[in-house]
Amino acid sequence: MTHSVFHIPIPFLGVVEAGWPSPAEEELADTITLDDWLQPNKEGTIRLKAPNNAMFCAGILAGDLVLLDRSLTPKDGNIVLAEVDGRTVLRRFLKRGRKVYLESANPHYPPIVPEEQLTVTAVVTAVIRKY
């Protein structure tokens, strides 16, 4: 039986400003699983790999694992997975009055203003990067 790293309890040592905690601070504050922390809505969570650097300045790089929640309603400023005029993109959801558009976090990608159709599939809740 294979176990996901998300299901293994990981010791939580608390908050550290920089470096390693002092021996007095090393008592376990708690244990958590990454599932519980990253996916509070397990049934509604989906994941994908960021396909490009369109969200670079928001801290999402090409190849990062992005977790999204399908049950959330997008709010102004959320990063979302959306289908717009037949293409699927990961962009920031912006609402100005009645106008809605999608903006990248990289100046090399222009804003997307829907011409016919915009459907938000999910809202980004976490990003995981492996070094």
Q: Are 80 and 58 in contact (CB under 8 A)?
A: no
- The tokens 């990608």 sit on which residue? 109
Chain segment 15-40, per-residue pLDDT in tens: 666 665 555 555 556 776 777 767 76
Tell me, yes or no, whether 81 and 112 share the same domain. Answer: yes
Tell me, yes or no, whether 32 and 79 share the same domain. Answer: no
CA gap 92, 95 in Å, rounded: 10
Tell me, yes or no, whether 70 and 110 share the same domain. Answer: yes
- Stated pTM of the model: 0.76
Q: Looking at the predicted structure, is the pLDDT value of residue 1 above 60?
A: no
* Cβ-count burial 83-100 (b if 16+ within 10 Å, e if not): ebeeeebbbbbeeeeeeb
Tell me, yes or no, whether 78 and 95 share the same domain. Answer: yes
Task: Give the range of the structural domain holding residue 101, as residue numbers without chain letter.
Answer: 43-128
